Amino acid sequence: AQSVAQPEDQVNVAEGNPLTVKCTYSVSGNPYLFWYVQYPNRGLQFLLKYITGDNLVKGSYGFEAEFNKSQTSFHLKKPSALVSDSALYFCAVRPFSNDYKLSFGAGTTVTVRA
Amino acid sequence: NAGVTQTPKFQVLKTGQSMTLQCAQDMNHEYMSWYRQDPGMGLRLIHYSVGAGITDQGEVPNGYNVSRSTTEDFPLRLLSAAPSQTSVYFCASSYGTGGTRELFFGEGSRLTVL
């Protein structure tokens, strides 16, 4: 069975500093990997995904993520964080062999201070 | 374009009562799903559907029923509510049924069972 781990419950950074949100996964075979963001009292919004090809994936709002197969990781990054990036971030994985069951991590709360 | 619409946004039930959470999408998406979100546990898949007349179970289906009579609608029924079903429920949909597709989420329905 697939699983996702987000080792940090909370990440706190100052505005303008780099932001990293960590994610590791476990699947059989090749993974499809996703990042979603949830603002307070809202539904989740898609940020970016890795399907195949280039290990560095660029997404919405200046975010990017790097797929590392040897470390089974898919960390989310932003070079310069904004206060408006404060939200709950979820990593998710779906194995190539199963089209339908997307597994989410527990989420990481990001707080960017002015 | 309304996207994914969930009703009601808030609901309080007594133990043993039944109710239906409504979900409708206007994007002609084939795939629809229900998740529940609990603190520290991320999102867990309850049921999903890959088209009208086709449904299947996710990770945590017990106590819930679904049906898909049209492409647009995917209601979630709680048969006999229990306090353990207190949660925030999200409906999500995607184009086609391929594993590479990102999900579009509704705003959520917060359910409290007393």
Q: Which amino acid, one-letter code, is at B83?
A: P
> What is the SS3 assignment for B71?
coil
Contacts of residue B7, defined as CB under 8 A and 6 or more positions apart, other chains included, come to B21, B22, B109
Question: How does residue B2 score in pLDDT terms, banded at 50, 70 and 90?
Answer: confident
Kindly tell me if the per-residue pLDDT of B61 is higher than 70.
yes
B54 Cβ under 8 Å from any chain A Cβ? no
Per the CB < 8 A criterion, the answer to whether B91 and B106 are in contact is yes
Mean per-residue pLDDT for A46-68?
94
Mean per-residue pLDDT for A100-107?
87
pLDDT, residue A97, reads: 64
Mean per-residue pLDDT for B29-52?
92
Q: Please give the mean pLDDT across all residues of chain B.
A: 93
* pLDDT per position as a tens digit, B3-19: 999 999 999 999 999 99
Mean per-residue pLDDT for A63-86?
96
pLDDT, residue A98, reads: 64
Give the rounded percent of residues in chain A with a pLDDT score beyond 90: 77
User: CA neighbours within 13 Å on the CB side: how many for B54?
Assistant: 10
Which residues in chain B are contacts of A41 at CB distance < 8 A?
Answer: 107-108
Neighbour tally for B66: CB within 10 Å: 23
pLDDT, residue A75, reads: 98
Question: How does residue B94 score in pLDDT terms, banded at 50, 70 and 90?
Answer: very high
**How many residues in chain A?**
114
Helix (H) or strand (E) holding A91: strand A87-95
pLDDT, residue A42, reads: 87
pLDDT, residue B96, reads: 74
A87 Cβ under 8 Å from any chain B Cβ? no
Q: Tell if the CB–CB gap between A96 and B102 is shorter than 8 Å.
A: no
pLDDT, residue A41, reads: 83
